[in-house]
């Protein structure tokens, strides 16, 4: 886990691990470090970075060569460089040293399985750090790592907000009401996700701070609100459901009478009287559904409107309570 720690002490510990190798190759090792320098990163992962860089330096520096480990602090960051007098690299090799499994006899990327510098670069990316290299073939290389100081990283963490996201689809005419209600439970429209409208519906993405105070209670109120809106939607649909069924039944009956009237007039011989008798209820069956639909719908509306108003008042109460918890 990331934490603030003294990188100078860690560099010293890593350098000591290669003391026997330097003595065996008779390398001139110089450490130019400050007394202390704080960075904000994962200590275990950053240790892998130093170990890989120092290991490559030892490997590609010939006997009686020199290795220099430097560290200096700048505003907001700490720079660590590892310089050697090894074989150096060509410009072509430098373009690939951070590629996975890339190996070249003259490249610092060669480290067992070819993952050394690729791993270093990935670790630094995860901690928002960076690595650069300067190299001259036959003269040596300098790798420089930049890491943020503990103070800067802590400020970034303080300013960072982790959001949870939610997508909702609703009728276009209901969108303002839904947005107002969801804002009462801590949600806000995601500015990076534009509202997507179709013919009668709209898709909206919302976001909410995961560390929101009273988030559990707000979520409970939100779910009650959503259940209440589902009930209101069902009641709204019930206004027209029964009316539609009645209108369809009458229209089908009228169609049946009209079919009988047609059969009567096309019979041999034609039965005109029967045709007229059947045509009358047929036309009535086609005209009446309009009036029946409106009568049944209006009656059902009068029945369910009080329940809708009651449920709406409950939703307003939930929103007011949610606002008080924000």
**Residue range 222-268, pLDDT digits in tens:** 999 999 999 999 999 999 998 999 999 999 999 999 999 999 888 88
Same domain, 110 and 178: no
Rg (Cα) of the chain, in Å, rounded? Answer: 39
Please check whether residue 71 is in contact with residue 37, taking contact to mean a CB–CB distance below 8 angstroms.
Answer: yes
Same domain, 80 and 180: no
- State the Cα–Cα distance between residues 98 and 115, nearest whole angstrom: 8
Same domain, 146 and 195: no
Same domain, 169 and 240: no
Q: Of 154, 184, 200, at which residue does a domain stop?
A: 154
Q: What is the CATH number of the domain that holds 139?
A: 3.30.565.10
Q: 229 is in which domain, residue-wise? A: 214-326
> What does the pLDDT look like over 122-145, one tens digit per residue?
888 877 789 999 988 888 899 999
Residue 158 pLDDT class (50, 70, 90 cuts)? low
Same domain, 246 and 286: yes
Same domain, 182 and 64: no
Confidence check: pLDDT of 65 > 60: yes
Same domain, 175 and 274: no
Confidence check: pLDDT of 150 > 70: no
Average pLDDT rounded to a whole number, residues 299-324? 93
Phi, psi of 209 (to 5 degrees): -65, 125
- State the Cα–Cα distance between residues 11 and 51, nearest whole angstrom: 9
Strand 3-6 versus strand 38-41 pairing type: antiparallel
Same domain, 130 and 118: yes
Q: Of 110, 135, 154, at which residue does a domain stop?
A: 154
Strand 28-32 versus strand 3-6 pairing type: unpaired
User: How many domains is the chain built from?
Assistant: 3
Q: What is the pLDDT of residue 240?
A: 92
Same domain, 148 and 13: yes
Residue of higher predicted confidence among 101 and 143:
143
Residue 115 pLDDT class (50, 70, 90 cuts)? low
User: In this structure, how many other beta carbons lie within 10 angstroms of the beta carbon of residue 180?
Assistant: 10
202 three-class SS: strand
16 three-class SS: helix
**Count of residues in the chain:** 326
Average pLDDT, the chain: 85
Same domain, 208 and 226: no
CA dihedral of residues 210, 213, 216, 221 (deg, nearest 10): -110
Q: Of 176, 194, 212, at which residue does a domain stop?
A: 212
Average pLDDT rounded to a whole number, residues 86-110? 67
Structure tokens at 176: 């303002």
Which pTM value belongs to this model? 0.48
Residue 220 pLDDT class (50, 70, 90 cuts)? very high
Q: Which residue spans within 23-160 are E strands per DSSP?
A: 28-32, 38-41, 66-74, 77-84, 130-136, 140-148
Same domain, 120 and 247: no
Same domain, 67 and 126: yes
């Amino acid at each position: 886990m990331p934490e603030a720690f003294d990188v100078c002490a860690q560099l010293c510990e890593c350098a000591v691990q290669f003391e026997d190798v330097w003595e065996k190759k008779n390398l001139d090792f110089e450490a130019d470090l400050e007394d202390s320098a704080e960075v904000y990163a994962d200590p275990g992962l950053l240790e892998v970075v130093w170990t890989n860089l120092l290991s490559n330096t030892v490997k590609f520096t010939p006997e009686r060569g020199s290795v220099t480990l430097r560290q200096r602090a700048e505003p907001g960051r700490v720079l660590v460089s590892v310089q050697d007098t090894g074989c150096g690299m060509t410009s072509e090799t430098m373009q690939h040293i951070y590629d996975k499994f890339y190996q070249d006899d003259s490249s610092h990327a060669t480290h067992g399985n070819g993952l050394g510098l690729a791993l270093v670069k990935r670790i630094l990316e995860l901690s928002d750090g960076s690595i650069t290299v300067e190299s001259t073939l036959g003269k040596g290389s300098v790798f420089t790592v930049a890491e943020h100081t503990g103070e800067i990283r802590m400020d970034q963490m303080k300013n960072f907000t982790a959001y949870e996201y939610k997508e909702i689809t609703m009728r276009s005419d209901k969108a303002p009401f839904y947005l107002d209600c969801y804002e009462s439970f801590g949600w806000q429209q995601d500015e990076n996700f534009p509202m997507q409208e179709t013919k009668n519906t709209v898709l909206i993405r919302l976001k909410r701070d995961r560390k929101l105070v009273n988030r559990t209670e707000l979520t409970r109120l939100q779910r009650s609100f959503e259940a209440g809106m589902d009930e209101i939607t069902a009641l709204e649909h019930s206004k027209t459901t029964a009316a539609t069924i009645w209108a369809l039944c009458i229209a089908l009956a009228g169609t049946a009478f009209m079919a009988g009237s047609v059969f009567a007039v096309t019979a041999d011989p034609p039965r005109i009287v029967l045709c007229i008798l059947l045509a009358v209820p047929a036309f009535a069956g086609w005209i009446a559904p309009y009036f029946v639909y409106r009568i049944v719908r209006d009656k059902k509306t009068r029945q369910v409107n009080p329940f809708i108003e009651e449920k709406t008042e409950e939703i307003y109460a939930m929103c007011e309570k949610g606002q008080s918890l924000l």
